[in-house]
Each structure stands twice: as C-alpha cells, then as structure tokens.
Amino acid sequence: MNRKGLLGLLNRDNFQVPLAWLQLKSERGRLFAGLAGISFAIILMFMQLGIQAALFDSAVQIHRSLNAELVMISPRSTSLIAMRTFARRRLYQALSFPGVKFVSPLYLGFAQWQNPERPRYWRNIHIIGFDIRYPIFKLPQLERNAHQLSYPDVVFFDAASRPEYGSIRDAFNAGNLVRTEIDNLSTGSRSISVVNTFMLGTSFGIDGNLITSHLNFLRLFPQRQPGLIEVGLIKLNDGIDARGLQTKLRSALPKDVDIFTMEQWIAFEKNYWQTSTAIGFIFALGVIMGLIVGIVIVYQILYTNITQHLPEYATLMAMGYQNTYFFWLILRQSLFLAAMGYLPGFLIASGLYLITRQATLLPVYMTAQRGIFLFALTIFMCCFAGLVATRNLRDADPVDIF
C-alpha cells in the first residue's frame, strides 16, 4: 500500500478497521505463511493440553466407576498403579460406625495375559478383585451380570483394552468361548475363561483390565494373603455426611490407614501424575513453548508490517496522529490474526484428537472449556506480540525517516 492509498483511507467512516485489515492482506503470501505458523502454535497447545487432560481423566476412570462415598487405603500408597496393602480388619472396623451401609475390599494386581490368538505373546494386565455380593461398580455389565463371577476361574474383560490382548470382544460377541492363561510371575500360570466384557478404558499406566471375584483373584495370586487388601470401599446410607464420618473414622482408627472421600481420592491420584512424575511438567512446558512460538511468529508479522509502512506512519505522526491511534491499529491487526489463526487450529486439533483417541484409546476429547481457554490464550499471545512490535513505531521520528 503506497502513501497515497494510505491517506485515502483516512476518513471518519472507514479508516479504523479497514486500514488494519488492508495492511495485513496487502502481502497475502506473508499473511498466509504467518497464519499457518499461528495455527501450528495453537495446535501444539491444544495437543499438549488435550493429552495432559486425557492422562488425568484416564488415571481416575477406575475411581469414577466405583460406587462408594469413602475410600480406605494405606498411607504408603502413591497411586493406583503403586498401591500398598493394609489389614482388611480395618475396613470391617469401619462397618461398626452408624451410617455405614456396607464395606467391600478391593484387591488390585498386575499379571501376564496370554494373547489367545498368539500364544507366545504375553502382556501385563491389571486385575481387580471384589466381593460380588456388593454392588460396588457403576458399570452396567457388572451391575447386571456380577453373578457370573461366582464360578471359579472366570473373569470379565475390559473391551476398551489395547488390541495387543487379542480380539476378545469380537470373539465373545460371536459366541466363541475365550480361554487363555494368566501368569502372576510368582507361582506360575492359571487357565481362565472370559464370561463377559465391560467398558472402562486404558491409562498411561494400565493397558487393559480384568475384573473378577475376590475368590478368583486369590486363586490367580495364591501367594497373596486374603487379609491384606489395596483398597477398602465404604458405602454410606442416604443422607449421611461423608466428610463428617471421614473425620470420625480418622480419629478412631489407627494411623496405618487413611480415609478419603471419593473426590479426595480422585484429586490424590491426579496430583500424583501432575507433581510426582515428569509428565505434568513436560506437558506444561509444551504449552509454554507453543505460546512462545506463536508470540514470535505474530511479532515477526507485525514488525515487518510496521517496518514496511513506517514512512506512512511517520507522515501520520507529522499530521498530528497520536501514539494511541497506532497502538489500537496494531491491536486490531493482532485480533485479526488471532481470529484467523485460531479457527483452522481448532478444527485441525479436533481432528487430531479423534485420531489420537482411536490410536491410543485414551479419552482425548475437545471440550468447550479448553476451546475457550485456548481462544483467550491466543488473543493474549497475539496482543502481547503486537504490544512488543509497537515499540519500533513509538520510537519513530518523522525527521529521521525523511
């Protein structure tokens, strides 16, 4: 845009928004290249936040599937994949408190699963054992068919497990008997049958799940002592204050157990992955790097644009236009870049979420909250870059330029 064209736009009806837009689109190639860079930075931030959220959500899928208000664990436990045992009698002591409807122990362990389609292929699988007399799971298949686990050496298989375990769901739905081996790496393997499936899902620490009765669990792990459990579930009667009973239990029971509400246990698990592992830091760093990349790209676009039109800006300064006018002009350009760069970034990230979810079986979903947060972050990114770019313009002197 030459100086004559620039001055032709300066009237009270049309110069405020069109000038910002016309300057941007005057170099279409540079604009599209810049928008591609901005979109890439937005996609990077979307993927980092999406995978981080999927990590946290997948880590507590088992927690959310349990039907209990209070949870008892060992103080030495750090996460679901690193649980320590405690005496089962502590759980039964809680049963004597008024307001407790029932208690149920939960046994957790890892063993080797033999792929029935590839007998030489073994893979670690997470096994959950529970007392089938109590409805502790909010999973439809278990609620309806838990009685099937009363037979020896039978399990329910998580149909949302990784495909490396075999086509168990397809075989079961076809009416075929699914039999395989479980090896606990201590006392040898044991033959088991899959009598039903359920849907739970994988996490960063668990690739697949089996659920069975506590008696079958102890058959699979004969070296385990029945009196030692990983988790104790406490179901309360309707209307009972969980926090109040939690306080009473913590005061009455020895310190070799800890009591959480379900919400606190979920927060405890998420906090482990966020603060006690490098994963939380890595994803946060990825978001920061994406933000920095976006700021640099927007700065380069606006700085180049300002430099190219510096003589025209100097002329306007000589005519009496104040720095605030140029500040708002660059700010509008920043908002244009934010809006145009965000939309393709959002759409591409949504597609990548779908691809990631199908490839990893992790719950990677686009949420309105994340979309709004990234849009606000994009606006900040572009406006901050624009603010920095205006420094060159504020220092311009018409006398020096001409």
Among the residue ranges 141-155, 242-256, 267-281, 300-314, the one predicted with the least confidence is 300-314
51 against 260, higher pLDDT: 260
Residue 16's pLDDT is what?
A: 47
What's the pLDDT at 15?
43
Mean pLDDT (whole number) for 293-302: 88
- 155-169, 320-334, 347-361: least confidently modelled range: 320-334
pTM higher than 0.85: no
Task: Encode pLDDT of 89-101 as tens digits.
Answer: 999 999 999 999 9
* pLDDT, tens digit (0-9, with 9 covering 90-100), for 352-393: 999 998 888 888 999 999 999 999 999 999 989 888 887 766
Q: What percent of the chain has pLDDT over 90?
A: 59
Task: Please say if the pLDDT value at position 4 is more than 90.
Answer: no
Query: What is the mean pLDDT of the segment spanning 167-180?
Result: 89
SS3 letters for the chain? CCHHHHHHCCCCCCCHHHHHHHHHHCCHHHHHHHHHHHHHHHHHHHHHHHHHHHHHHHHCHHHHCECCCEEEECCCCCCHHHCCCEEHHHHHHHCCCCCEEEEEEEEEEEEEEECCCCCCCEEEEEEEEECCCCCCECCHHHHHHHHHHHCCCEEEEECCCCHHHCCHHHHHHCCCCEEEEEECCCCCEEEEEEEEEECCCCCCCCCCEEEEEHHHHHHHCCCCCCCEECEEEEEECCCCCHHHHHHHHHHHCCCCCEEEEHHHHHHHHHHHHHHCCHHHHHHHHHHHHHHHHHHHHHHHHHHHHHHHCHHHHHHHHHCCCCHHHHHHHHHHHHHHHHHHHHHHHHHHHHHHHHHHHHHHCCCCCCCHHHHHHHHHHHHHHHHHHHHHHHHHHHCCCHHHHC
- Over 70: is that where the pLDDT of 399 sits? no
How do residues 54-99 score in pLDDT, each as one tens digit? 888 999 999 999 999 999 999 999 999 999 999 999 999 999 999 9
* Residue 135 in this model has a pLDDT that exceeds 90: yes
Give 336-355 pLDDT, tens digit per residue: 889 999 999 999 999 999 99
* Residue 13: pLDDT over 50: no
pLDDT reported for residue 88 = 95
pLDDT at position 31 is 81
